[in-house]
Amino acid sequence: MFRILLIMSVAAAILFGFYLVHLDNKVTERFEGRIWQLPSHVYARPLELYVGKPITHEQMQFELDYLNYEAVSEMPHQPAHYRRWDDNYEITTRGFTFWDGVEKSLSARVTITDGRVSRMLQPYTGESIDLLRFDAGYLTGIFPAHSEDRVLVRIDDVPDIFIKMLLLVEDRRFFEHYGVDPRSIARALVANISSGRTVQGGSTLTQQLVKNLFLTRERTLSRKLNEALMAFLLELHYDKRLILETYLNEIYLGQDGRRAIHGFGLASRFYFDKKLSELGIDEMAILVGMVKGASFYNPRRQPERSAERRDVVLELMSEQQLITPRQRDILSSRPLKTVKHASAGKYPAFIDTVKHQLQQDYDSDDLRSEGLRVFTTLDPYIQHVSEQAVKTILPRLSSDQTLQAAAVVVSPDTGELLSVVGDREPTFRGFNRALNAERPVGSLMKPLVYLAALEYSDSYTMASLLDDTELVYRDEHQKDWRPQNYDRQFHGYMTMYEALLKSRNIPAVRTALDVGLDKVRKVAVAMGASSDISSYPSMALGATSMSPLEVASIYQSFATNGFNSPLRSVRAVLDRDNRPLERYAVDISSDVDPRNVSIINSALVDVTRYGTAKRLSENLSIQVAGKTGTSDDLRDSWFAGFSADAVAVVWTGFDDNRPTTLTGSSGAMKVWQAIMKDVAHRPYQVAESGSLERAWVNADDGLL
């Protein structure tokens, strides 16, 4: 009997030994490999102010609010504080690490007059400031599958008082025990038995960490035993500081939509928009109090409970003489103040373009797990204006709530994407029409047809007479094609200029056939078109499908007289330690004669003054250039145009391709106008060239 027992004991011990080895492997693998999958953090473009910069008070306020700068009544000494009086803003910016260096926190007095920065001074010395760069606003993260988000903190960067506070509340004997603290367990047991319910926990920080990293939340004996064993093994392998640091970065502290807030580093940003080292003691106490229950003590949703819990923490600190009773009283009397933080993931259409660009250099695993810092081109104010334009104008165009829209705004000279809207509900994370909806572009194609004529034929000028009479196109492989003008009428001969202004169909088709469809296609590609353009004559009327982004690429080339800049939404990428990984430089190419583009552009200006878009000249205060586009049966309404500082493309239509009642000018152009009214500051001027001259011609015969 004794022998059997002995054999069984030895067998059990051996099995237990194997089990311990298994647990040990689990623990060390996680710690010695990558502990967390760190999401990429994506940032908007930083606002830069300089004397002369066009900016309204409305935009300035938007930018300050967007960056969660706090308005104060006195001189702002702390970063991210400002005060305003009349036209003046006294601001202390946040320091920030950019891809091109560190920008220190700076104090400035900025005066905005007549929609421009008129003066920038150092408030203390009165010296002028030439350039002021704000921190870049956080947009969103690209999360791992489990949607955890965190901002890593190093234990050396965590304030000493915070560590003491945390250990006081959660694990006073942290530096003395070996992962499990029998005294705490016993104390908790007594407290719970005497009160008849669970009032106290006996778990150490190490046990809590193990539970979060490896185990489930189920309250079973086996899970508790595993937790204890693994805590012990963790302590065996790793020093206390590493375990504590890991805990600081792992603890769950709330939810933001589908994003889980892990770690005190991110929590301090999320609730207070400050670094952990910048928090006040009362704010630290709020976060430490949340460890017991992040949802239960959420300072935004449960402010009273959160305040009570904070006061418990402060009381404990006072008892242990970490703070004086007087300090405790002052801190307890402070109102709970958290920042109004917009949900991450606000700009799904734009973020799509970011992922699209990054996926050329990074696989999606790296994007979700390597903790990259991605600096984008998004202009939050322009994005806001674009979204508002779509949301307010679309219901006025049609009561049908399935009418959809997409809008893209691009910087003409750098090709940077400033805003992208992919749905009539811009925050909706669904089909991104700006990137993925390829729709017939209609008359947006005509400027390319006439540009091809200027490029490839000496016999065409803007004064050339084009035939607007009935045309029958015959092809042995298909039935006859009889294109129609919009008004179903024919107007005889007219100049190329007039044909473009009035968007006549027949002259465009005749010109494309005469010049050669392959030439038109070549010019379209040179100007930024990427898709396969059909080789049928109907291509001249835009029976070729493109996405709004692709159209933006083409009209960006028009805006710069033929210098195409590949559109991009990312400027630079840093790794988790702020080391540069990738830089996406400005790039341009040109394969057309800028003078010919300039000629077409002069006509596109007149489209907005005398042509199909003439209402723009009445409603906008600056000169712009652009083109309306309407596809067959009014299924697609487009407008593409530009000022000197912005190119915008808008599309409206139904996803199921049924006819709308909208032309380019009665539909998309209205959204375009609403965007450009706020966004475009510099008028488009046709580039002067010594080799070009203006001349009056007779509209009837095209002669001087």
Partner 1 sequence: MITPVIVSSMKIMWMIQTGSSICSASYDSGRCSGGRGRSTAASVLLVTILALFLSACGTTGKQSAKMDVIDVEEGNYRYDAWRPVQSGEYAAINVLLDEADVLMQRQAYDAAADKIERVLRIRPDYAAAWSRLSWLALQTGSPKRSVFMARRSNSLAQADPELQSLNWSFIRAASGVLNDEDSYFRANQKIESLKAF
CB nearer to partner 1: pick between 53 and 373: 53
- Of residues 591-610, those binding partner 1 (CB under 8 A): 594
Strands (E) in 447-530, as ranges, are: 465-468, 473-475, 478-481, 492-495
b/e for 680-697, b at 16 or more Cβ within 10 A? bbeebebeeeeeeeeeee
* Contacting partner 1 within 175-214 (CB under 8 A): none
Among 130, 156, 304, 476, binds partner 1 (CB under 8 A): 130
> 219 exposed, middle or buried (CB, 10 Å; 0-12, 13-18, 19+)?
exposed
The span from the CA of 198 to the CA of 660, in Å, is 64
Choices 49-57, 359-367, 398-406, 422-430; region in contact with partner 1 by CB under 8 A = 49-57
- Closest residue by Cα to residue 227 from 246, 205, 255: 205
Annotated catalytic residue: which of 40, 443, 503, 665? Answer: 443
Using the contact rule CB under 8 A, the part of the chain among 172-180, 300-308, 451-459, 557-565 near partner 1 is: 557-565
CB of 325 to partner 1, least distance (A): 52
Crossing angle (nearest 10°) for helices 505-515 and 517-526: 100
- Please name every residue paired with 376 in a beta bridge, in sequence order, or none if there are none: 570
Q: Toward partner 1, which CB reaches closer, 29 or 130?
A: 130
For 377-516, where are the alpha helices, taking DSSP H only?
380-397, 433-436, 446-456, 496-501, 505-515
Q: Cα 474 to chain center, whole Å?
A: 50
Work out how close the CB of 383 gets to partner 1 at its nearest, in angstroms, rounded to a whole number.
16
User: What does DSSP say about strands 259-262 and 148-149: parallel, antiparallel, or unpaired?
Assistant: parallel
Choices 29-37, 95-103, 448-456, 491-499; region in contact with partner 1 by CB under 8 A: 95-103
Instruction: Return the number of the residue (100 or 329) whose C-beta is nearest partner 1.
Output: 100
CA distance 199 to 218: 18
| Residue of the chain from 16, 50, 296, 428 that contacts partner 1 (CB under 8 A) | 50
Residue in 419, 560, 608, 643 binding partner 1, rule: CB under 8 A: 560
**Could you tell me how many residues make up the chain?**
704
* Residue from the set 350, 563, 642, 651 that interacts with partner 1 by CB under 8 A: 563
Q: Please, what is the minimum distance in Å from the beta carbon of residue 424 to partner 1?
A: 30
Nearer to partner 1 among residue 326 and residue 579 (C-beta): 579
- Residue 377 and residue 383 in contact, taking contact as beta carbons nearer than 8 Å: no
Active site residue 170: yes
Could you give the dihedral angle defined by the CA atoms of residues 449, 451, 454 and 459, in that order, rounded to the nearest 10 degrees? 20
DSSP states along 120-179: EE-TTT--B-S-EEPPPPEEEEE--TT-EE-----GGGS-HHHHHHHHHHH-TTTTTSSS
* Minimum CB–partner distance for residue 64 and partner 1 (Å): 20
Amino acid at 541: L
Q: Which two tokens stand for residue 142?
A: 């690209």
The residue from 170, 250, 370, 387 that is catalytic is: 170
Q: How far is the CB of 120 from partner 1 (least distance, A)?
A: 9
- Examine residue 53 and tell whether it contacts partner 1 (CB under 8 A): yes
Q: Is residue 128 a contact residue for partner 1 (CB under 8 A)? A: yes
Of the ranges 125-133, 422-430, 464-472, 500-508, which one interacts with partner 1 (CB under 8 A)?
A: 125-133
Task: State the helix-helix crossing angle for 221-237 and 205-214, rounded to 10 degrees.
Answer: 110
Any contact of residue 575 with partner 1 (CB under 8 A)?
no
Among 141, 289, 299, 412, binds partner 1 (CB under 8 A): 412
Rule CB under 8 A: choose which of 561, 608, 623, 663 binds partner 1: 561
Both tokens of residue 107? Answer: 């104090």
Q: Binder to partner 1 among 69, 99, 381, 555 (CB under 8 A)?
A: 99
The pair of three-digit structure tokens given for residue 181, joined into one six-digit string: 């603290």
Nearest approach, Cβ of residue 687 and partner 1 (Å): 7
- Binding to partner 1 in span 635-664, by CB under 8 A: 644-645
- Cα 368 from Cα 364, distance rounded (Å): 6
Q: In angstroms, rounded to a whole number, what is the distance separating the alpha carbons of residues 583 and 587?
A: 12
- The footprint of partner 1 on this chain (CB under 8 A) covers a number of residues equal to 33
Q: Does 687 bind partner 1 (CB under 8 A)?
A: yes
Cβ atoms of 517 and 500 within 8 Å: the answer is: no
Q: How far is the CB of 384 from partner 1 (least distance, A)?
A: 19
Token pair 């405790």 in the structure block, residue:
328
Q: How far is the CB of 488 from partner 1 (least distance, A)?
A: 42
The least distance separating partner 1 from the CB of residue 63, rounded to whole angstroms, comes to 15
Stretch that binds partner 1, among 164-172, 230-238, 296-304, 409-417 (CB under 8 A): 409-417
Residue 43 sits in the site that holds partner 1 (CB under 8 A): no
User: In whole angstroms, what is the distance from residue 1 CA to residue 101 CA?
Assistant: 76
- Told to check if 361 binds partner 1 by CB under 8 A, we report no
Least Å from the CB of residue 65 to partner 1: 22
> Exactly one of 59, 353, 414, 553 binds partner 1 (CB under 8 A); which one?
414
Place of tokens 């006040």: 280
Confirm or reject binding of residue 589 to partner 1 (CB under 8 A).
yes
5 lies in the binding site for partner 1 (CB under 8 A)? no
Dihedral angle, C-alpha 225, 231, 234, 236, nearest 10 °: -90
Whether residue 249 contacts residue 152, with contact meaning beta carbons closer than 8 Å, is answered with: yes
Among 2, 3, 33, 52, binds partner 1 (CB under 8 A): 52
Rounded to whole angstroms, the Cα distance separating 648 from 410 reads 6
Q: Which of 107, 383, 411, 643 binds partner 1 (CB under 8 A)?
A: 411
CB atoms within 10 A of CB 252: 18
Interface pattern 23-42 for partner 1 (x via CB under 8 A):
--------------------
Residues near partner 1 (CB under 8 A): 48, 50-53, 99-101, 128, 130-131, 411-414, 560-561, 563, 580, 583, 585-590, 594, 644-645, 687-690
Residues marked as catalytic:
170, 443
